[in-house]
Amino acid sequence: MRSLCVLLSVLIASSAQAGEQPPLVGLPGLAPLPSANTRTIEVDVTSEVQTVQQVKASSAARAAMLELDIGEGVDPGLARRIGHELVQELTKLPMLQQVVSPSEASASLPLEAQAQLSGCNTPSCLIEVGAMLDVAFVISPRLTLEQGGFRLVLGMMDLEAEKRWTRERAGLSTEAEVKESLPGLAASLWTKEEAVAIVASTMAPVEVALPTRISSNGAWKRWGSLGVSLGGLALVGASNLMMNNAQEAYEPATATGEDYDALVSAQSEARMVWGGGLVLASAGAAGFVLLAP
């Protein structure tokens, strides 16, 4: 019995050492999307956060800022002034050689591509616009008016790392306070705070209740724990199979935005299955050990 428990622990440890998550494919470039009847898929990129490494931006780094998106009740004139000030603050950052303003971005794109700038907030759209503008970063700001004041949110899309994260300031009472927040908020886009990958998912924690004492007929509970652990290991293997199938179905030469989002969705599902399997395997192994007579 003890040998079986030790072997099970080694299997779980080997699975964890293989990587914190099932291997993800390096997402290739996309073929241009058609300009008409294009359907975009919203991807929740706020439910899973990870620590972003310091951006190694060279002196040649270029960024593009999209038009400031505003919520209900925000004066358009105020939005134009805030947008202009934000471009100026981004230009002052030492890690950027050039900032493409919203008007410059619109002027440099063909007419059929300009329609994408309005409401462009999905990862696939931001990557496509950034590639057409030949920039390393795409910044998408949004200003809303809430009961407690203005809320300014800056979204950052890193095309090379294929990651997206946000910084925000809330409770800003006046236009002057919004402008005062711009320097720090713009600089915070390049700090070691929270970052969000394009692939994002939410997995509820799995709670396994272990008995505090062993009953005379508790042998079946111990073997039940072993079954839970083996089932968790099966889920870990299934997650890798899911990812392999998704990669084989993806054709980079003919891929569109929908194909790209389908691959992203498969990655998210595989990570959820992998995480759940590892939790179950670990909990089952712990139960098998603790319920030993």
Query: Which amino acid does the sequence have at 274?
Result: W
How confident is the model at residue 57, as a pLDDT?
40
Q: Is the distance from CB of 284 to CB of 225 less than 8 angstroms? A: yes
Q: Which residue has the tokens 């319920």?
A: 291
Task: Report the CATH number at residue 165.
Answer: 3.40.50.10070
Residues 220 and 183 in one domain: no
Q: Does residue 38 fall inside a structural domain?
A: no
| Non-local CB neighbours of 193 within 8 Å, separated by 6+ positions | 52, 165, 167
Residue 35 within a domain: no
Contact 113, 132 (CB under 8 A): yes
Q: In the chain, which residues have pLDDT < 70?
A: 1-60, 192-218, 250, 252-255, 288, 292-293
Q: Which of 197, 227, 246 is the last residue of a domain?
A: 197
Neighbours of 49 (CB within 10 A): 14
Residues 177 and 222 placed together within one structural domain of the fold: no
Structure confidence by residue, pLDDT tens digits, 23-63: 555 555 555 544 444 444 444 444 333 333 333 444 358 99
Q: What is the mean pLDDT of the chain?
A: 74
pTM, two decimal places: 0.47
Determine, yes or no, domain membership for 44: no
Model pLDDT, residue 155: 92
Check residue 36 and give its pLDDT: 44
pLDDT in the model for residue 53: 36
- Expressed as residue numbers, the domain containing 235 is 2-30+210-290
| Identity at 121, one-letter amino acid code | N
- Where a domain ends, among 152, 176, 197? 197
